[in-house]
């Protein structure tokens, strides 16, 4: 059983798009996979299918699994701690860590994806960021970025802080942004500065085949 933390260089850069494609690729191989997003904000109860956990549930083929995938859901499209406060809740890092560890402790799948909320350094609570959750869980990181102008700086900065905290990076996935520079050219520029982590480029296509990413994630561990 393996687990992976899906982190992003920012918000709305394709974490869930990549996670859903990976889920479909793993399921296509006859393997079991699940997803867990400990907290989500900007959640519309009137349209749950459009939310990140709703999309993950659809990719898993379990449309009713949304409450299991994301137990803490808040309406306001704000940082989770601010969105929670508007609904009378106070998020604590220890609670989010416990939620994740409870899910990690269930030996019921070949691969579990834990997806963060926002970017690596985005606040989750009043005194903790996604990075703090990542360090507490100590899982390999799948870092997802966009291809917009400036993304190379964001990726390199994210990699710097992730590695400074002793975390391993399984791969960097660059998801094509709208109205962005050429995806391949941007990937080549990133590769000039980052040679160790595998880099996978993701065209903006709903049916992107994540077979290459699945090969990388599921490869035997040395």
pLDDT of 170-200, one tens digit each? 999 999 998 899 999 999 999 999 999 999 9
Q: What is the mean pLDDT of residues 8-21?
A: 94
Q: Which pLDDT value is given to residue 54?
A: 97
- Please report the pLDDT score of residue 204 as a whole number: 80
Confidence class of residue 221 from pLDDT cuts 50, 70 and 90?
confident
Residue 83 domain-assigned (yes or no) = no
**Predicted pLDDT of residue 124:** 98
In a domain, 34, yes or no: yes
Q: Mean pLDDT across the chain, nearest whole number?
A: 96
The catalytic residues are 37
Per-residue pLDDT of 109-167, as tens digits, reads: 999 999 999 999 999 999 999 999 999 999 999 999 999 999 999 999 999 999 999 99
* pLDDT attached to residue 74: 98
Rounded Cα distance between 101 and 177, Å, is 33
Q: Residue 203: pLDDT above 70?
A: yes
Which of 92, 144, 146, 140 is closest to 84 using CA atoms?
Answer: 92
CA dihedral over 73, 77, 78, 84, signed as positive or negative: negative
CA distances from 15 to 89, 101, 102 (A): 26, 21, 22
Confirm whether 140 is domain-assigned: yes
User: Which structural domain, as residue segments, surrounds residue 11?
Assistant: 2-39+97-218
**Residue 208, pLDDT above cutoff 80:** yes
CB proximity list for 106: less than 8 A, separation 6 or greater: none
47: in domain: no
Sequence-separated (6 or more) residues with CB below 8 Å from residue 22: 33, 113, 210, 213, 214, 217
Residue 176 is given by DSSP the state P
Q: Give pLDDT, residue 30.
A: 96
Q: Tell me if residue 201 falls in helix, strand or coil.
A: strand
| pLDDT tops 80 at residue 222 | no
How many C-beta atoms surround the C-beta of residue 179 within 10 A? Answer: 6
Task: Output the pLDDT for position 162.
Answer: 98
Residue 54 lies in a domain: no
**Domain count within the chain:** 1
Q: Is residue 86 part of a domain?
A: no
CATH of the domain at 199: 3.40.50.300
In a domain, 167, yes or no: yes
Whether residue 168 lies inside any domain: the answer is: yes
């Amino acid at each position: 059983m393996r687990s992976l933390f899906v982190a992003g260089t920012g918000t709305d850069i394709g974490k869930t798009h990549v996670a859903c494609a990976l889920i479909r690729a793993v399921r296509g191989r006859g393997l079991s996979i699940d997803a867990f997003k400990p907290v989500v904000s900007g959640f519309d109860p009137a349209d749950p299918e459009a939310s990140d956990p709703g999309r993950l549930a659809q990719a898993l083929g379990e449309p009713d699994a949304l409450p299991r995938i994301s137990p803490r859901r808040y309406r306001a499209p704000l940082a989770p701690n601010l969105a929670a406060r508007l609904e009378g809740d106070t998020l604590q890092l220890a609670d989010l860590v416990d939620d994740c560890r409870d899910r990690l402790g269930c030996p019921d799948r070949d691969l579990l994806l834990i997806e963060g909320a926002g970017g690596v350094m985005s606040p989750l609570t009043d005194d903790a960021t996604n990075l703090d959750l990542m360090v507490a869980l100590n899982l390999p990181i799948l870092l997802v970025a966009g291809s917009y102008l400036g993304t190379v700086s964001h990726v390199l900065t994210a990699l710097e802080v992730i590695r400074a905290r002793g975390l391993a990076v399984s791969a960097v996935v660059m998801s094509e942004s709208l109205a962005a520079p050429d995806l391949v050219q941007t990937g080549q520029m990133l590769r000039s500065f980052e040679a160790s982590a595998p880099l996978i480029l993701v065209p903006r296509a709903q049916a992107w085949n994540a077979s290459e990413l699945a090969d990388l994630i599921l490869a035997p561990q040395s």
